[in-house]
Structure 1
Amino acid sequence: MGLFPCAPVAPSLAVDLRVLQFVKTLFVRQTPNVTAWCEAVEVFLAGCGYTFAGKDNLRRQFNNAYHWYCVLVIQNDDHVSAMISVARPTARPQEEHKQPSDYLRARCPLCFGGNDWRQARSPDQLCIEQSPCIIVANMASRVDCIICMDACFTKKRSKNPCGAEGDDPPNPITSFFVPTEVVDKMESLAEQCCTRGHNGTGRVVVPDGNDDLVEEGMHVPVSVLDGCGQSFIAADERWKKASTQFFADTGLMALLCRHDRVLWLVNLTSAGEKQHYVLALLKQFITHIPNDMRVGFLYDIGCQIEHSWCKWKFFDDSILLRFQFGVSVFHAYGHQWPCQIIYHPRKREGFGLSDGEGCERLWSALKPLISLLRVSGYHQRLFVLNMQVRHLDTKSLTGFALWLSRRWASCRAQKRGVDRGLRDCGCDVGQLRAQWVAQVEHQTRPSPRQSKNKVDKEIRMILELEQLVKARAATISALEICFVANRITDFACFELDIADARAQYDKLSDMLLRRRAALGVSVTARL
């Protein structure tokens, strides 16, 4: 087939294309390790009587040839796809905005590839005003596509403590990562919206005293949202999940469709799960879909995202009307029960059997890359992740037919079981629906005034916080004693552990002070 050189001019090594293709196929199925592979080749060739001049020459030369071979293969695939797209009949200008973008249609043909995605709507749901941004209210009961999002803080990249300079040039390939400029712009927008709300020009509803209420645009009371926010670390932007002292890139956030196809990725550089990363991914997605496409959005804290959207007005209300928020199935049980009634995808019409956990499956598939990404350069890390996503795309594309067949059979089996259960119970379906509506209305009603119970609950919370603060202080003291006694075997892990313990101590102490300050003098005396 030919040879591929390690340099464009005067190469000292050329590698057979079949060998490069074999290594490329191998490295997307296990942890990429050019060093180990080249060392094995050198040992094998040495046994056959062949040796290389110099030290580590094969690794540097082979790595260069392999890297640019992968770049060439990716560019060739993109060029072929572009030529095919050009050969397709072009849509008329007035119809271009009625379909998802070519990028999305290529990312997931099942979600965005068809031109008939509106046919699933009932006739009354097809009633759209003259302006495509104004959606009739009765369309909110269905969604046209379902996406999910999550962050992962294990795919980190360490800082370069020694200041070593390596060869890490940008790679000329199409990337799935949202540009840094877009992320920075959304961070500024989020800060401006929150500042405008705090200054009084935005609409922020705050309950008075012990009153509970349902804010405008929301479906559950403020007390329920507060409970969900306190239950999840992802809802606290100040919570440090990765140390920025030791890591330049702290993780990834991904946006996937319901078929586990990656739509976009965002590179995280903060210690916590900041809200502007979510907004950047949503903004990128919104610009690629028609103005009347309705979206089901599943996230670990979907209730908090909708609350922030309604509260701070990050996007227009016309966009908010097209989004139906839900929580991922595995995280739903950590939410308050009224929140589960509204946001659980199994209890919400339109989400079907989508679980919103596609990101967890993606993180599992990327798990072999954790050790490699820690020591990679900035551009090399993005390149490896893009390569792996392309491999997962090819793998899922070849299994779409089997996936659909398996899911269809499972769906029919579950439907038969539900129909059999309804027949056995002997209840009218209309009566059951009416009872469910009544239950939702009752259990999402704002709580009445409960001054005494609330005070007792607050005192118990403060006492529990005091115990947690003491426990974190004891953990910090134990770590410091180990350090003084020179019993630390892994200094990097020690730094991460003590930084995490101190961050938790500071957060809990701050929460304890704020809760104490909120109590009156008479109540404080009861502590």
Structure 2
Amino acid sequence: MEVDGVSFNLDIGAGPDDNDSDAETTTASQNIIVDIRDVIGFKRWRGQRKYKGPTWKERLRRFNDAWGELIDELVDEFIRWKYSTPQSPTSFPEESNGWEFSINVVDIHNLTREVTIHRDSDTKAAIALVRAGYLPASPVSPSFAVSLRTLELFYTLRLFKPNLSVEAFAKTVCHLYSIPYRRGHRTALSDTFDIYLAILRKVNAQVAKELGHNTPDYRVLHSCPPCNYELEDEPPLMFTRMFVADGNNSLKRMNGVGKREVSDTRVFGESDYYLTEEYVNTFADEVKSRPLSKNAVDDGEEEEEFEGDWIDEVHGDPTDGAPDTELPECTKNWKAAAHDSLKKMWSAFRESGYFATACRHGFVLWVVDMIRSGELAKYPLAMVAKALKVFGPRWMFGYDIGCSFSSTIRNSSLGPEFEEKGCRTCVNAFHGYSHCALCQQLFHPLNIVGMGLEDLETLERLFSSSNQLGAITRYMSSYRRRVFIDLFLQQWDRDKYQNLATMLHNNYLQALEILDNEAPSFEADLHALNITEEDLETYLADETRHLATLGKETEEDLHAIAYVDLLRKYRDINTSYENASTNFRLHIPEDYQFMSDATSYTSNLSETRKAETRRRFLSEQSSQVLFELTQMEMAMGISRRWEPSDPEYMQAVEYINTRKYRKALERLHKLVVQRLFELHKMNLSNTGYKMRTHISNALQRRSKAIKNAVKAYNTAAVGLNPPRDTLDWSKVSHYTFLDQFNILQDTRHSVFDQPWAKPVNRTLMKQRHRIARAREEIIRCNVEIRRLHTSIVDEDKHFETVLAQLVDSPILGPVTDYIRRRQAVNSLLLARINQTYQLEGFSGERTPGTRKGTSNMQHSTAFPPPQTTDPGSDVGDDEDDDEFTEEMDNVLDFMANISLQ
């Protein structure tokens, strides 16, 4: 065809199924028919785009609605195809012949290019394709299909390689088919994979219903047996559960260009991991935002420059509502604790990441998208509110700024219930070592009774793994991004369940090692130093009180300053009053001039009135100051008014004269003590390289504050009379022991004579906590291992009941597949539990118990006969699983009998 000298080659062919009914006669070719009038009008286009027919957004909506009408039938056919025994092709009556059709397909297993699908007049093309093992790319009049086995392979690869993109897999298929890759191949495979995942979600929902796993919050309350499967007569735990929250900004998603709307408007609401945006926003204004303040002496850091557009959607940060926190330093060194005006997000992104919570065993509880912002207060508050609703009392909430976030909770509407249930917050162990010294005493897991050896760094491992999704979700639609994140989280939880017994086994070994190796030497050191564990606990309490007063003026000093100021003011006023009363015009001024009688009288009268007014004013002011002075004397318990010759008066005057110097010295003292104590933690023998690096970065930030404190101190020292010695920062920065800071002996809060400041005592204090936490970990592991053992035994009995009820049900196949996979994993868990029971130092029950709220039942151990293993062998690593050949024979035999479709 040629129009205005321009040639067009329109390849419009017949569809693959010309005999379809009216509802299915819309062929692929009809979707690309070119209107000749549009072609002719192309040369006359004046900048205004003309749309003919429905928009792409409308066509995509119709496309998805058409799939929605077929999804239930597709699920039924998929179950028959995957779980039924293979049968011969269905034969159709002779009068139905002619409804079969040929279609282009992709099958990575046999590289088939085209197949013929048989059907009758009542069977839709898409249904017939699924029955034959293929999934079409279009719900109506399909011209292309992908084999279900190919989609299953891609699904499985994505489970274990989350960053495998649809484009990469499409290129792999094209390579195997020896055809060049085109973008349309990726689009067709992506659309087909969407429907495949929708079918799987429907199947999994039916399986969950049959197993009784579809109750509200079932996953959160049952996915982790060690957290949830409480037993009768088990030892009480200080904290019923521990979980941690944090945000990750790697999974950003690009926003639309300008005001352009996204065509794919689907909302993925089938995930029980995600909290809705509406629910989270109810906590947006729970606490008032803190005022932004800059104090170069306090933080010692320069504000980072930024170029770009900011989004104004902010609702406070996790430390909002906490201006009275006793740990202001901890709200300055963390992004999550930064002021809300510094935590906005570029307008290029809509979702700037996701905020998640997970239990100590790694199971994800809830996640929520962070919308155009960093870690605002509403995200962790929403998690706390959900936990208060779903969980019982006395749980521990870990957060990298848990110290300051505790004040945020107390100042929100959640505060009363949070306190009533006996819940509390802490900081993660890895992040906690870079918090200030006082914060570590109060909020670090090592110093909290009942925490065991838990570090609460679960989410760092989760984020490290989920970062693989960043490259492929950055430009996805919101719907597909959530689908892929949900898919990743499901597999993450499955992996965590399979690793449960190994994780508890390793924790047990770690605790036993501490008790076997450190406890004897600890007792010997105590005996050698002639101190007790109670003494160490007293040292810790003294250190906490001392650190809380560092850098602060005492109330006695402040009262003395105010009292001396009032005394001075009172004396000055009395002196002025006496002068005004006794020396009134008793001498002739030097500038005296003779004046007439009338002029002299008028001038003298005016001067007299002024003098009398001043005398009366001074009298009233003296009475007022005397009243204030009397009140302060009563409050301070002063029986005799201080005189300038009294020692208390002279000491207060000296402090006033050197107050600026004292304040600078106390500030420097505080920072130096904290830095040295944190350096002590950094040099511990058990501190790993990554933790050392993390602590080192935090100390570098604190060193900037020390440098500014040294400058302030030198300025104040030079201003004294006589001047005090100044400090050289180049030398101070290399000090590693308190006795090198001789200048600090002049402070009122000196630590030189404190027993807890001695390095040997500090090492023993930390060692005592490690041993105490190890004993707590043994108790918790005994409880959690038995819970896991009991849940496996009870679950196996439940499976038997469910299978007996589904003998003739079409859903028997998917349920059986789920149960077989679960039982195979449970066999691995039982083998590891049995290995833990055989440990020489194991002190728990070796038989399953009875779950709370259930009738007493006799349980079998469900274990194979104990194997002879070397108790000293390293069984904590995943690589050693292959050595358990004797214990795994029954599992391998079981898995060998599983038929693969």
Query: Which one is further off, 177-186 or 236-245?
Result: 236-245
Change in Cα spacing, 1:119 to 1:438, as seen in structure 2 (3 Å) is farther
The answer to whether the 8 Å contact 2:253/2:349 transfers is: yes
Superposed counterparts of 1:337-486, under 5 Å: 337-425=437-525, 426=527, 427-445=531-549, 448-449=552-553, 451-453=659-661, 456=664
Give the direction of change, closer, same or farther, for the CA distance of 1:350–1:22 in structure 2 (3 Å limit).
Answer: same
Shift of 1:27: 1.7
Confirm whether residue 59 of structure 1 aligns to residue 164 of structure 2.
Answer: no
The answer to whether the Cα contact below 8 Å between 2:254 and 2:348 also exists between their aligned partners in 1 is: yes
**Change over 3 Å in CA distance of 1:57–1:153 after alignment to 2:** closer
* Secondary structure, aligned partner of 1:355: coil
Corresponding position: 1:114 with 2:230: yes
Number of residue equivalences: 398
User: In structure 2, which of residues 209, 212, 224 is the aligned counterpart of residue 85 of structure 1?
Assistant: 212
Out of 345, 348, 357, the position equivalent to 1:243 is: 345
SS at the partner of 1:28? Answer: helix
**TM superposition shift of 1:382:** 1.1
Gapped regions of structure 1 (runs ≥ 5): 91-99, 123-141, 199-219, 461-522
Question: How does the TM-score come out when normalised to structure 1?
Answer: 0.68
Within a 5 Å distance, the mapping from 1:20-419 to structure 2 comes to 20-30=151-161, 31-46=163-178, 56-85=183-212, 102-116=218-232, 119-121=234-236, 142-161=238-257, 163=260, 165-171=262-268, 173-190=270-287, 224-238=326-340, 240=342, 243-290=345-392, 293-310=393-410, 312-321=411-420, 322-419=422-519
Compare 419-428 and 406-415 and name the one that shifted more.
419-428
Once the two structures are overlaid, the 10-residue window that deviates more, 234-243 or 447-456, is 447-456
Distance 1:232 1:59, change over 3 A: closer
Measured after TM superposition, the shift of residue 447 of structure 1 is 5.3
Q: What CA distance in whole angstroms lies between the structure 1 residues aligned with 2:348 and 2:166?
A: 25
Q: 1:410 and 1:459 mapped to 2: Cα distance?
A: 40
TM-superposed deviation, 1:161:
1.5
- Aligned mates of 1:10, 1:454 — CA distance in 2: 86
Q: Residues of 2 paired with 1:423 and 1:149: CA distance?
A: 37
1:388–1:101: structure 2 CA closer, same or farther, 3 Å change rule? closer
RMSD, matched Cα: 3.2
Amino acid at match of 1:436: L
**Partners in 2 of 1:222 and 1:189 — Cα distance?**
17
**TM superposition shift of 1:457:** 8.0
Percent identity (aligned): 22
Measure how far apart 1:459 and its partner are: 11
Relative to structure 1, is the Cα distance of residues 168 and 222 closer, same or farther in structure 2, using a 3 angstrom cutoff? closer
- How far the C-alpha of 1:241 sits from its partner, in A, is 5.0
* Residues in 2 aligned to 1:457 and 1:9: alpha-carbon distance in whole angstroms: 81
- Does the 8 A contact of 1:168 with 1:380 survive in 2? no
Q: Structure 1's 275 and 237: CA in aligned 2 closer, same or farther, altered over 3 A?
A: farther
Alpha-carbon shift at residue 308 of structure 1 (Å): 2.0
Structure 2: unaligned runs, 5 residues or longer: 1-81, 83-132, 292-321, 555-658, 669-718, 720-901
CA contact (8 A) 1:155 1:370 kept: yes
Helix, strand or coil at the partner of 1:266: strand
Q: Is the 8 A contact 1:6 1:64 kept in 2?
A: yes
Seen in structure 2, the aligned counterparts of structure 1 residues 86 and 71 have a Cα distance that, compared at 3 Å, is closer
Cα offset, 1:79, TM superposition: 2.6
Q: 1:366/1:453 Cα in 2 relative to 1: closer, same or farther (>3 Å)?
A: farther
Q: Which structure has the greater CA radius of gyration?
A: 2
Structure 2 CA distance for partners of 1:56 and 1:145, relative to 1, 3 Å: same
Q: Deviations over 1:419-438 (max 9, x none)?
A: 22322212433343343334
SS of 2:239's equivalent in the other structure is: coil
**Following the alignment from structure 1 to structure 2, what is the Cα–Cα distance between the partners of residues 224 and 379?**
43
Task: Give the whole-Å Cα distance in 2 for the aligned partners of 1:280 and 1:457.
Answer: 43
Residue 455 of structure 1: CA displacement?
6.0
- Output the CA distance in 2 between the equivalents of 1:114 and 1:221: 39
Distance 1:79 1:437 in 2: 57
Could you say what secondary structure the match of 1:149 adopts?
A: strand
1:272 deviates by 2.7
Kindly indicate whether the alpha-carbon contact (under 8 Å) linking 2:253 and 2:473 is maintained by their aligned counterparts in 1.
yes
Output the CA distance in 2 between the equivalents of 1:239 and 1:411.
44
Structure 2 residue matching 1:177: 3-state secondary structure: coil
After superposition, the C-alpha distances for 1:289-323 in whole angstroms (9 at most, x for unaligned) are: 13xx211111111111112223x233142422421
Q: Which has the higher contact order (CA 8 A, sep 6+)?
A: 1
**Measured at CA, do residues 254 and 165 of structure 1 come closer, stay the same or move farther in structure 2, by a change above 3 Å?**
closer
Alpha-carbon displacement from aligned partner over 1:234-263 (angstroms, at most 9, x marks no partner): 112425456331111111111111011110
- Which residue pairs with 1:14 in the alignment? 145
One-letter code aligned to 1:6: A
2:286 & 2:193 partners in 1: Cα distance?
41
Aligned position for 1:127: none
Q: Is the 8 A contact 1:240 1:271 kept in 2?
A: no
Q: 2:325·2:404 contact (CA, 8 Å) conserved in 1?
A: no
Q: TM-score scaled by structure 2?
A: 0.41
Residues 551, 666 of structure 2: 8 Å contact kept = no
Aligned residue for 1:169, secondary structure, equals: coil
Structure 2 contact 551–667 (Cα < 8 Å) conserved: no
